[in-house]
Amino acid sequence: MTTVRGGHDPAAIDEAAALLRAGQLVAFPTETVYGLGADAFNKDAVAGIFAAKGRPADNPLIVHVADMAAARAVVGEFPPLAEVVAAALWPGSLTIVLPRGPRVPDIVTAGGDTVGVRVPAHPVALQLLKVFGGAIAAPSANRSGRPSPTLASHVLADLAGRVAMILDGGATEVGLESTVVDMTRDVPLVLRRGGVTLERLRALLGRVDCLEGQDTSAVARSPGLRHRHYAPRARVVLVGEGEGEAAVRGMSGRVGLISREAAEGELVRVLPGSAEGFAHGLFAALRELDLLGLDRIVVEGIDEAGLGAAIMDRLRRAAEG
Ligand code: TXA
Ligand code: MG
């Protein structure tokens, strides 16, 4: 049984923390997407995450903490440059990969010697972390391969009966996952683009390298990148800005459209023109259209500046699937 509770209700937070202490799974909102949480120091509880999601065991999990002090209990070492970036961007949509601390079980890191840590910028997530008092391992709360959930109803659609409680915090603000940056190297390396832009990281840190999605070295560094991702059931077709309606007309079958222009129709979802607005609504639009049982969903791409780069990364992966 899965219960859905209001995330801002203190009694619900207390119950969620008690469930986590008992080794159960709790889904909760972050500012990026919903997470599927378990006590990060309880390996049996964490095993439940992999089972519930159908997640490959070689894909490590992000550990969520309330603050810097709690982060220190998870990592082996906090290098000075990592402190700079954490001080500037936490709480926020940045996961920092650091040497793993001794308390973190193998299953969290997929056996690797690094761990990804993040302080999320969402009042419900922070309150849960505070009341729970430990560290919460949490991937996005979707079945493996599906678009990440940006609403509690998305979590329920994917994981009903597989998670003890869902804390409902409404729509997540960013709508895309966190940026993952490996800070164990001389030059920081972005493994996954996300809510914090590369431009922002470079302004803070100077040189920052970035793995583009297709780089095969990504396979060793961030195993999650090689798995099928963000894909609805319908085939996703990525086209240029303003090319959506023409592309739909040229296709047979039932074809949906995600556009940022004033297009109309039952199978059309129009998203805001800004990259922030597009990111916020994208996964929900994909899931809504997918419920209509379409053959294809045409999505108009966006300029790769700022958050646009992370959006295009997700769209390319969705289109590959
Ligand atoms: O915004 C987010 O990051 C959300 C919310 C819930 O925090 N979480 C999320 O988790 O997207 P997940 O598991 O869906 O994606 C985590 C990504 C995966 O690609 C994984 O391979 C990578 O981060 N990752 C985690 N730990 C890592 C590590 N130690 N080294 C390299 N990559 C790591
Ligand atoms: Mg995920």
Which single residue is written with the structure tokens 């650091």? 98
Instruction: State how far the Cα of 2 lies from the Cα of 265, in Å rounded to an integer.
Output: 35
Q: With contact defined as beta carbons under 8 Å apart, do 219 and 112 qualify?
A: no
State percent of the chain over pLDDT 70.
Answer: 94
- Cα(69) to centroid(ligand 1), Å: 21
Task: Label residue 265 by pLDDT band (50, 70, 90).
Answer: confident
Instruction: State how far the Cα of 65 lies from the Cα of 226, in Å rounded to an integer.
Output: 26
**3-state class of 233 per DSSP?**
coil
CB atoms within 10 A of CB 316: 17
- Asked if residue 265 and residue 135 are part of one domain, the reply reads no
Mean pLDDT computed over 20-42: 98
Q: Tens digit of pLDDT for each residue in 119-156?
A: 999 999 999 999 999 999 999 999 999 999 999 999 99
- Asked if residue 149 and residue 239 are part of one domain, the reply reads no
Q: 3-state DSSP helix/strand/coil percent for the chain, to nearest 5?
A: 35, 20, 45
Nearest Cα residue to atom 12 of ligand 1: 139
* Ligand 1 atom at minimum distance from 64 CA: 7
Q: With contact defined as beta carbons under 8 Å apart, do 36 and 139 qualify?
A: yes
Kindly state whether residue 228 falls inside one of the protein's structural domains.
no
Three-class SS of 149-181? CCCHHHHHHHHCCCCCEEEECCCCCCCCCCEEE
- Cα(93) to centroid(ligand 1), Å: 11
- Which residues surround ligand 1 with Cβ inside 6 Å? 30, 32-33, 35, 59-62, 95, 97, 109, 112, 114-116, 118, 120, 138-140, 177-178, 180, 191-192, 221-225
- Asked if residue 58 and residue 202 are part of one domain, the reply reads yes
Task: Label residue 263 by pLDDT band (50, 70, 90).
Answer: confident
Closest ligand by atom to 224 CA = 1
How many domains does one find in the chain? 2
pLDDT of 229 above 90: no
Please say which residue of 219, 243, 261 terminates a domain: 219
Instruction: State how far the Cα of 44 lies from the Cα of 243, in Å rounded to an integer.
Output: 49
Range of the domain at 28: 3-219
* Ligand 1 atom at minimum distance from 174 CA: 1
Q: With contact defined as beta carbons under 8 Å apart, do 144 and 53 qualify?
A: yes
Kindly state whether residue 24 falls inside one of the protein's structural domains.
yes
Kindly state whether residue 46 falls inside one of the protein's structural domains.
yes
Q: With contact defined as beta carbons under 8 Å apart, do 125 and 168 qualify?
A: no
Q: With contact defined as beta carbons under 8 Å apart, do 54 and 143 qualify?
A: yes
Task: Label residue 232 by pLDDT band (50, 70, 90).
Answer: confident
- Asked if residue 183 and residue 105 are part of one domain, the reply reads yes
Give, for ligand 1, the residue of 33, 36, 65, 177 to mutate: max count of ligand atoms closer than 8 Å to Cβ. Answer: 177
Cα 144 versus chain centre, distance: 12
- Asked if residue 104 and residue 245 are part of one domain, the reply reads no
- CATH code, 101: 3.90.870.10
- Cα(139) to centroid(ligand 2), Å: 6
* Neighbour order of strands in the sheet with 34-39: 3-6, 165-168, 26-29, 34-39, 136-137, 62-64, 114-118, 94-99, 179-182, 189-192, 209-210
pLDDT at res. 320: 85
Q: How many residues does the chain have?
A: 321
Q: Tens digit of pLDDT for each residue in 208-218?
A: 999 875 444 54
Task: Point out which residues pair with 298 in neighbouring strands.
Answer: 237, 257
- CATH code, 248: 3.40.50.11030
Please say which residue of 153, 187, 219 terminates a domain: 219
- Asked if residue 181 and residue 82 are part of one domain, the reply reads yes
pTM of the model: 0.96
Q: Tens digit of pLDDT for each residue in 149-192?
A: 999 999 999 999 999 999 999 999 999 999 999 999 999 999 99
The distance between the two most distant Cα atoms of the chain, rounded to a whole number of Å, is: 57
Q: At what angle do helices 275-290 and 307-320 cross, to 10 degrees?
A: 20
- Cα(140) to centroid(ligand 2), Å: 4
Interior/surface letters 144-171, b for 16+ CB within 10 angstroms, e for the rest: bbbbbbbbbebbbbbbeebbbbbbbbee
Kindly state whether residue 224 falls inside one of the protein's structural domains.
no
Q: With contact defined as beta carbons under 8 Å apart, do 177 and 311 qualify?
A: no
DSSP string of 20-84, one letter each residue? HHTT--EEEE-SSSEEEEEETT-HHHHHHHHHHHT--TTS--EEE-SSHHHHHTTBS---HHHHH
Kindly state whether residue 272 falls inside one of the protein's structural domains.
yes
